């Protein structure tokens, strides 16, 4: 069976050219060297044709490696057939990163362990298939340590997916204020990886371990585009769009490992990551602050950030209404104070009293504001705190299929602006969407300016798709006007890649191509 694949004529990225594969022979060759599983049936391919995004594409086949040697061997076979490869994780992608015409590498079944947990050095070595909570649970219970970035899918998202996406999460605020930074890239010490051509690399801090020929090309790239990088990269907590070329600048320490985080399986295949752990306060208090609407809640983000809490999340009235209609967390919603928009602000300390006192200090400051909140509730028992966090974490599911409403979709679901511009962004985004007849809950990581949404786009009719694209054009203009990022968590993928020239300009997009070519000259 031979499969022809044609490049998209108007693609903004470099086309890979015509591709014709002898799929049966490819599968046989993979089975001869891989001790894990090689799945090329139509059913298996269908299972991997869709993720959490709007995209559906059949892969060539699926490899589930049992060992690291399996990964290297599979890449060698794919290289011999000139077959593209794509690593997939879980619980992180909403922008079409994990669907493509490629051989999928799924690490979650076998390569899912903790290689090392060194509490004294606050370091963990993890395999790409490891689920986040499988690390957080022993780190927190045994050592009062944690990994800062924690997507709401922490019960099932994998480190490979998080690193590919450069994920953040609810407690990225804790990692920003009390750790190395909010994104996965900020919390990476070293990456073990293999290139498509089979070169094994372990890259540490400051470019340690980078082969000379690659280091020279990366330094040349950083020198050539340095001024543009400094001028065009937004200075904000949640800049996730684009490659992390800013990490290559000399003032940032030539952090090559961090530059490879967020590359969405377009440069190398990650085999293992060494990550930084941070202290996890044993006592927590959750302050829920009610406002008339979510934009007014966002207006106070700067003041809340001054108190350096562990988390600052936002929930709006639409999300509460959606949950009520869907019939989830109805009892939990009664724990919210009066209002039409809410901030969930978590504090931590050695004792409940210490955490409570930090919350009371914020309440006192907020009460002095001219546009003060209309309600407060403080919870310092674990059970009730977890009930409220379930409200926030259920946002994606609650907004997906709402009885009596049109279907909703991703497509503009994780834009981010500097936190001080969030109130303005929410007002203007709501007004813009209203002109198109779009509606959505606007919730998410308010403390770092990142908004989650699912809109009632019409992605079926020609006119609906044309309207959707006009909305994306205007919404991206708005985010960039406010100094923001197209993505603040989910990455670019197929959803936002074509918008990258708007954010960075054609020259830096060319720099992205050069960066990819350094690691993957075959563009596979």
My answer on whether 328 and 474 are in the same domain is yes
Q: What's the average model confidence in pLDDT over 402-423?
A: 94
Query: Does residue 326 sit within a domain?
Result: yes
Please determine, for residue 331, whether its predicted confidence score (pLDDT) is greater than 90: no
| pLDDT number for residue 399 | 79
Residue 12 clears pLDDT 70, i.e. is over it? no
Mean pLDDT of 23-32: 98
- Asked which of 12-21, 140-149, 234-243 is least confident by mean pLDDT, the reply is 12-21
Residue 224 pLDDT greater than 50, yes or no: yes
Residue 223 domain flag: yes
Q: Which of 278, 297, 327 is the last residue of a domain?
A: 278
- Mean pLDDT computed over 337-364: 98
* Per-residue pLDDT at 8 exceeds 50: no
Same-domain check for residues 318 and 295: yes
Residues 288 and 420 in one domain: yes
Residue where one domain finishes, among candidates 470, 485, 500: 485
Residues 256, 152 share a domain = yes
Confidence of residue 4 (pLDDT cuts 50, 70, 90): low
Percentage helix, strand, coil for the chain under 3-state DSSP, each rounded to 5: 40, 20, 40
Q: Which domain holds residue 61?
A: 2-106
pLDDT at 20 over 90: no
CA atoms of 19 and 463, how far apart (whole Å): 33
pLDDT surpasses 50 at 280? yes
Residue closest to 148 by CA, chosen among 122, 176, 175, 118: 175
Q: Which residue shows structure tokens 């490891």?
A: 130
What's the pLDDT band for 288 if we cut at 50, 70, 90?
very high
pLDDT for the residue 13: 46
Distance separating alpha carbons of residues 433 and 442, to the nearest angstrom: 11
What is the arithmetic mean of pLDDT over 466-481? 98
Averaged over 91-107, what is the pLDDT? 91
Confidence bin at 18 (pLDDT 50/70/90): low
* Average pLDDT estimate for 14-43: 89
- What distance in Å separates the CA atoms of residue 133 and residue 150, rounded to the nearest whole number? 9
Percentage of the residues of the chain whose pLDDT score is greater than 70: 96
* Structural domain contains residue 341: yes
Average pLDDT, the chain: 94
User: Which element (helix H / strand E) includes 342?
Assistant: strand 341-349
Question: For residues 384 and 382, what is the distance between their CA atoms, to the nearest angstrom?
Answer: 6
In this structure, the answer to whether residues 70 and 156 fall within a common structural domain is no
241 and 313 in a common domain: no
pLDDT grade, residue 176 (50/70/90)?
very high
The verdict on residue 519 lying in a domain is no
- Mean pLDDT over residues 439-465, rounded? 96
Residue 395's nearest CA partner among 294, 482, 473, 309 is 294
Instruction: Give the end of a domain, one of 79, 106, 133.
Output: 106
| Average pLDDT value for residue range 82-107 | 92
Taking residues 512-516, what's their average pLDDT?
98
Examine the domain organization and report whether 417 and 311 are in the same domain: yes
Share of the chain above pLDDT 90, in %: 86
Does position 14 have pLDDT exceeding 90, yes or no?
no
Same domain, yes or no, for 182 and 65? no
Model-level pTM? 0.93
pLDDT of residue 92: 78
* Contact in structure between 353 and 304 (CB atoms under 8 Å): no
CATH number, domain containing residue 350: 3.40.462.10
**pLDDT for 2:** 56
Q: Is residue 45 part of a domain?
A: yes
Pair (140, 47) in one structural domain: no
- CATH number where 217 lies: 3.30.465.10
Asked, for residue 511, whether it belongs to a domain, the answer is: no
Q: How many domains does the chain have?
A: 3
The three-point CA angle 329-172-192 to 5° equals 120
The per-residue DSSP string of 197-222 comes to T--EEEE-GGGTT--HHHHHHHHHHH
Does residue 338 register a pLDDT over 50? yes
- What is the C-alpha separation between 442 and 420, in angstroms, rounded? 17
Q: Say if 84 falls within a structural domain.
A: yes
In 177-200, which positions are buried (b, 16+ CB within 10 angstroms) versus exposed (e)?
bbbbbbbbbbbbbbbbbbbbeeee
- Both 271 and 346 in a single domain? no
pLDDT computed for residue 62 by the predictor: 98
Q: Same domain, yes or no, for 233 and 309? A: no
Q: Which two tokens stand for residue 504?
A: 């960075």
**CATH code of the domain containing 98:** 3.30.43.10
Provide the pLDDT for residue 91: 77
Considering the domain boundaries, does residue 410 fall inside one? Answer: yes
Q: Are residues 139 and 11 in the same domain?
A: no
């Amino acid at each position: 069976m031979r499969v022809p694949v044609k490049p998209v004529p108007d693609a903004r990225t470099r086309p890979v050219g015509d591709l014709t594969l002898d799929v049966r022979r490819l599968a046989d060759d993979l089975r001869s060297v891989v001790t894990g599983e090689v799945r090329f049936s139509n059913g298996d391919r269908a299972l991997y044709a869709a993720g959490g995004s709007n995209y559906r594409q059949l892969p060539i086949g699926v490899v589930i490696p049992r060992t690291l040697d399996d990964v290297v061997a599979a890449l060698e076979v794919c290289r011999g057939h000139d077959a593209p490869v794509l690593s997939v994780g879980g619980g992180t992608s909403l922008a079409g990163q994990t669907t493509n015409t490629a051989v999928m590498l799924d690490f979650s079944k076998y390569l899912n362990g903790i290689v090392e947990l060194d509490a004294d050095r606050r370091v963990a070595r993890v395999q790409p298939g490891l689920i986040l909570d499988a690390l957080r649970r022993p780190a927190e219970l045994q050592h009062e340590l944690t990994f800062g970035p924690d997507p709401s899918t922490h019960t099932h998202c994998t480190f490979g997916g998080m690193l590919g996406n450069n994920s953040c999460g609810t407690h990225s605020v804790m990692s920003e204020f009390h750790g190395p930074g909010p994104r996965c890239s900020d919390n990476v010490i070293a990456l073990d990886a293999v290139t498509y051509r089979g070169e094994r690399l372990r890259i540490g801090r400051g470019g340690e371990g980078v082969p000379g020929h690659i280091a020279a090309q990366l330094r040349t790239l950083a020198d050539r585009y340095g001024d543009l990088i400094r001028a065009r990269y937004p200075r904000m907590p949640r800049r996730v769009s684009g490659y992390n070329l800013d990490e290559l600048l000399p003032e940032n320490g030539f952090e090559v490992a961090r530059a490879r985080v967020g590359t969405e399986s377009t440069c190398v295949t990650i085999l293992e990551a060494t990550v930084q752990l941070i202290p996890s306060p044993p006592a927590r208090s959750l302050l829920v602050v009610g406002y008339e609407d979510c934009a007014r809640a966002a207006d106070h983000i700067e003041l809340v950030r001054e108190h350096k809490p562990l988390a600052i999340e936002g929930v709006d009235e639409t999300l509460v209404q959606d949950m009520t209609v869907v019939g989830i967390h109805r009892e939990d919603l009664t724990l919210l104070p009066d209002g039409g928009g809410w901030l969930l602000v978590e504090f931590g300390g050695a004792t409940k009293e210490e955490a409570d006192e930090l919350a009371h200090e914020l309440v006192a400051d907020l009460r002095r504001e001219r546009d003060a909140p209309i309600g407060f509730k403080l919870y310092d028992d674990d059970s009730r705190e977890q009930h409220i966090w379930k409200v926030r974490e259920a946002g994606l599911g609650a907004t997906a299929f709402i009885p009596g409403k049109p279907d909703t979709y991703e497509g503009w679901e994780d834009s981010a602006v500097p936190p001080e511009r969030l109130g303005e962004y929410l007002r203007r985004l709501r007004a813009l969407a209203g002109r198109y007849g779009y509606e959505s809950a606007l919730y998410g990581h308010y403390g770092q300016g990142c908004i989650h949404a699912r809109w009632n786009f019409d992605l079926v009719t020609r006119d609906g798709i044309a309207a959707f694209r006009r909305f994306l054009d205007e919404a991206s203009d708005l985010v960039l006007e406010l100094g923001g990022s197209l993505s603040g968590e989910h990455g670019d993928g197929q959803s936002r890649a074509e918008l990258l020239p708007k954010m960075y300009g054609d020259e830096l997009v060319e720099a992205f191509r050069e960066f990819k070519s350094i690691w993957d000259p075959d563009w596979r």
